[in-house]
Every structure is written in structure tokens, then in C-alpha cells.
Amino acid sequence: MIDFRYHVVSIVAVFLALTVGLVIGASILSKGLADSLRGSLAQSNSQIKSQQEQINELKGEVEQRDKYISATAAGLVAHQLDAGCVAVVQIAGADADAYGTMATLLQKQSGASICSETTINTSFTADGSRQQLTALLTRHTPAGQTLAGTTVQQQAARLLGEALTAAQQGSTAPAHPSTSPSSTPTTAPSTAVGAKTNASPGAGAGSGTPLAGSTAAMTPADALETLQDFQKDGMITMTVPPTAWGPANLTYLAAPSGTGTDAQNQTYLALAQALRAGGALPVVGGSGQSADKGGLISAVIADSVSVHDIPTVDNTDSPMGQVASVFCLAELLQGGGTSVAGHYGTGVDNDGLVPPNLAGLG
């Protein structure tokens, strides 16, 4: 007869066999899995090393390209803008180094004169500025004129753009000054305020058609007073007053290098459109996130009107982008703003790195 002890021994033997099997199986599996993981890790490390070598090689090529373009930039852009008087507008948040390089490239190497230099301060698009901007609109909008825009900031941006171009309509200063503009913020000459002119809306090289919906044009004297009040209220800073060298026929608009709200971008778009309407044809240059969703260049390209009217360059922190910006301005100068705007830089949907017809690539 099989007693209870036999059953106990049998059960213990079964569990012991299971335990030994699990231990042996786990050991074999762990070794195989470890070998597989070590192989995958070695392969990944090899791929990473190969890709890092490729990245370093590409970085080296880019650095060499930028060095070459920097060394030849003066020759590339020489005399491109001899007939250009550029209103330079820097929006708060723009890349300061890229902006400074562009200003030098425009004035000292391309042959252009800087006929005004203005910074749009952060207060312009701040929520707390609506009351001040409303007061400026009430005080300075020409009688009978209607400024387009769904917000106070957009209407104020159009008024500012009109003032920047209208202030220079009566100027007869030389197109190429012999001295550099002052680097100290200043206001427009007070002696010009109150001066009257009979210039019509279409008079002067820097003028254009009045803004959409307008029935009256701003006089140069009123425009200067408008700009002074925008500066007094902290909305803008004028480094070079707009009557210093002559009427603007071009604008370089330096975009913020980061992203902004849709309301902010629409305000800056309104400014660019007003400058174009006033005859100072704009190019928007930016870097960093300016071409990403929420950036100003992205907003230009997304706008059904601006995409055809306002050229953009999204890599102005590089020598290539800086040269491309000059080429874009030269293209506007030659075509009088009648050609379809191009969009250049490193963005996915751009038209290339530089305008091919002026870069000798087309």
C-alpha cells in the first residue's frame, strides 16, 4: 500500500524538478537575452558614432560655407541697393546680433542709406497699452481716414506705418549721407513739427497709395508729431529719426526670434502692410523660431495677402540669410514691388536659400 509519506515525497520531487527547471531555464534565457541586448547596444552605439561623424562633417561644411560667404558678402551685395533708402524696423525680441550685422550690411556694404531706424517696444502689443494706443489713434488719425484692423493694436500699427513713410515724403536730403547715423535714441527734429506741405498722397519717392479705407493722407508734419507721441508713450524708440536722409522706398523688418500670439503677429503684419502701402516695400527677416508655428514669418506665409506681397528670410542669424535679405530688398527695388514675394531660408516650404535671379543661380 502506498502511504502518505510516498505522496509527500512525490509532491516534493515534482516541485523540486520544477524549481530546478525554472532556475536552469532562466539562466539560459538570461544569458541569451543579455547577449542579444549587448549586440543591439553595440550596433546602436556604432550607428550613433557614425551619425555623429556625419553631423560633425556637415557642421564643418556649414562653418566653411559661412566663412566663405562672410568673406565675400561685401562683394556679393555691393551696389545692390545704391538707389535704396531703407527704413529699418526692429521688433522687440529680434536677434540683436543678426540685426546689428544686417544694419551694417545694408548701410556700409550694399550701398543703401538708412533713412530711419525704429524699435517696436514690447509695450506696443501689451494688453495694458490699449488705452494709450486708443488715445494716440484719436489724436493722430487724419480726419476722415478709417484705419483697418480688428484690434486697437492693429489700427495703431497701421497708423505707425503710415507715419513712418509719410514723415519722409517732404525730405530732400541726399540719398547717401557721408556720416553714420547716431546710435543714441532721439526724437525727430522739433523744428519740423508744425511745418506744412502741399504734397499730395502720391507725391514723393517714399509715398504710396493711402491705406485701405482712407479718405485723407497724413502730412509729413503730422507724421513727425505722431512718431514723437508714440515714442513719448514708450511704444517705439527712434534711433535714427525718419527725416535724416530722405524718403524710404524699402523696409527691413526684423522679426522676433521667438514665437508670439496670433494677436501680436497680426499687429506686426498690419505694420508691414502699412509700410508697403506707403511705398516703403518691406522684407521680413528673422531667425530662431520665427518660421515655426507662432512665429512672425510663419504668420506672413500663412496670410493669404501677405504671402504674395511681403518677402521673408528665416535664417538671418547666418551670413547666407543676411545676404539673401539684401537680395530680397534689391529684388523689390528693381521690380517696384510688382513681383510675387519669395520666401527664403531653411524652412521646408521655402523657395530656396536666396533669390536665384540675383544670386546668379538661375
All cell numbers assigned to 120: 517696436
CA 358, chain centre distance (Å)? 21
Q: Are 136 and 228 in contact (CB under 8 A)?
A: no
Residues 115 and 211 occupy one common structural domain: yes
Residues 170 and 54 occupy one common structural domain: no
Residues 127 and 214 occupy one common structural domain: yes
Residues 34 and 94 occupy one common structural domain: no
6 CB-contact burial (10 Å; exposed 0-12 / middle 13-18 / buried 19+): exposed
Residues 16 and 163 occupy one common structural domain: no
Range of the domain at 58: 1-77
Whose cell is 538661375? That residue is 362
All cell numbers assigned to 169: 515724403
Q: Which of 13, 44, 77 is the last residue of a domain?
A: 77
Residues 183 and 168 occupy one common structural domain: yes
Give the count of domains, the chain.
2
Residues 50 and 125 occupy one common structural domain: no
CA 121, chain centre distance (Å)? 15
Residues 21 and 118 occupy one common structural domain: no
Residues 69 and 84 occupy one common structural domain: no
Q: Which of 21, 42, 77 is the last residue of a domain?
A: 77
Cα–Cα distance list, 114 to 180, 308, 336, 359 (Å): 9, 25, 18, 23
Residues 290 and 185 occupy one common structural domain: yes
Q: Which of 77, 106, 124 is the last residue of a domain?
A: 77
Residues 38 and 174 occupy one common structural domain: no
- Distance, in Å, from the CA atom of 218 to the CA atom of 145, rounded to the nearest integer, reads 9
Which of 118, 94, 144 is CA-nearest to residue 271? 118
Residues 163 and 230 occupy one common structural domain: yes
> pLDDT (tens digit, 0 to 9) for every residue of the chain, 362 residues total?
556 566 666 777 777 767 766 666 666 656 667 777 777 888 888 888 888 888 887 777 777 777 767 777 777 888 889 888 999 999 999 999 999 999 988 988 888 888 889 999 999 999 899 999 999 999 999 888 889 999 999 999 999 999 999 887 655 444 444 334 434 444 433 333 333 333 333 333 333 344 444 446 788 889 999 999 999 999 999 998 876 667 889 999 999 999 999 999 999 999 999 999 999 999 999 999 999 999 999 999 999 999 999 999 999 999 999 999 999 999 998 887 777 889 999 887 789 888 876 555 43
The contacts of residue 270 (CB under 8 Å, 6+ apart) are: 148, 149, 153, 154, 155, 157, 158, 161
